[in-house]
């Protein structure tokens, strides 16, 4: 992580104007939050599971329950609503397949699904939180 001084040097500014720009980007919503990126292996959640979910229910009530379930499950890092045959895609990190099964059992107890398909990541080829800025 760069300090404001290091970032200022990278972009050719002094520290104070650079810090003001960072604050302005935060105020305008370009910077949503500052976070620490943790090592999954060292945090004992080295197993990544992608879970494709299909449901036959598309009611507001079901969606509220689904949102509550994913919010109450810290192992679910991402949840996306998709077009096509899959309704939702979840990215889950856990220490083991057995721990994934616990998450899976919780989800199917809370909600009705038409189909749940789990794929375990064998190797992470690219992972970044960087957003391309050339389109802004």
| CATH code (residue 89) | 3.30.70.920
In angstroms, the CA 135 to CA 128 distance is 17
How many structural domains are present in the chain? 2
Low pLDDT (below 70) residues in the chain: none
121-130 per-position pLDDT tens digit: 999 999 998 8
43-61 per-position pLDDT tens digit: 999 999 999 999 998 899 9
In angstroms, the CA 112 to CA 94 distance is 23
Domain limits at 52? 47-120
Does 56 fall in a domain? yes
pTM of the predicted protein model: 0.86
């Amino acid at each position: 992580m760069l300090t404001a001084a290091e970032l200022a040097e990278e972009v050719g500014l002094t520290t104070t104007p650079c810090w003001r720009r960072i604050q302005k980007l935060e105020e305008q919503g370009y910077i949503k939050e500052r976070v620490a990126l943790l090592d999954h292996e060292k945090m004992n959640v080295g197993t990544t599971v992608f879970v494709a979910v299909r449901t036959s229910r598309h009611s507001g009530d079901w969606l509220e329950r689904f949102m509550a379930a994913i919010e109450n499950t810290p192992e679910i890092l991402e949840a996306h609503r998709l077009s096509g045959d899959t309704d939702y895609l979840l990215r889950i990190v856990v220490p083991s397949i057995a721990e994934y099964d616990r998450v899976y059992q919780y989800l199917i107890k809370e909600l009705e699904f038409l189909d749940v398909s789990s794929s375990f990541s064998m190797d992470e080829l690219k992972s970044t939180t960087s957003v391309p800025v050339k389109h802004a």
